[in-house]
Amino acid sequence: MVDEKKTPHDKTREVMVGNVPVGGGAPVAVQTMLSTPTTDVELALQQINSATSLGCEIVRLAVPTSACLEPFGQICEQSPLPVVADIHFDYRLAIGSAEQGAAKLRINPGNIGSESRVDAVIDAAGEAGIPIRIGVNGGSLDQKYRDMQGMTQAEKLAASAVEYVEHFESRGFKDIVVSAKAHDVPTTIDTYRILSREIPQVPLHIGVTEAGTLRQGTVKSAVGLGILLAQGIGDTMRVSLTAGIEEEVKVAWEILSSLGLRRRSPEIISCPTCGRTQVDLIKIATEVTERLATVEKPIKVAVMGCVVNGPGEAADADIGMAAGRGEGMIFSHGKTLRKVPEDQIVDALFEEIDNL
pLDDT band at 312 (very low <50, low <70, confident <90, very high): confident
**Beta strand ranges found along the chain (DSSP E):** 15-17, 20-22, 29-33, 58-62, 83-87, 104-107, 132-137, 176-181, 205-206, 236-238, 267-270, 300-304, 319-323, 327-332, 335-341
pLDDT at site 307: 64
pLDDT at site 238: 97
Mean pLDDT of 282-292: 90
CB 39 within 8 A of CB 71: yes
Class of domain 267-355 (CATH, top level): alpha beta
Most confident segment among 106-120, 154-168, 305-319? 154-168
pTM of the model: 0.90
What's the chain's average pLDDT? 91
Whether residue 62 has pLDDT greater than 90: yes
Three-class secondary structure assignment of 311-346: HHHCCCCCEEEEECCCEEEEEECCEEEEEEEHHHHH
CATH fold for domain 8-258: TIM Barrel (3.20.20)
Whether residue 138 has pLDDT greater than 80: no
Kindly list the domain boundaries of the chain, sorted by start residue.
8-258, 267-355
Distance CA 224, CA 263 (A): 19
Mean pLDDT of 311-329: 84
pLDDT tens digits, one per residue of 242-282: 999 999 999 999 999 999 999 888 888 888 877 777 788 88
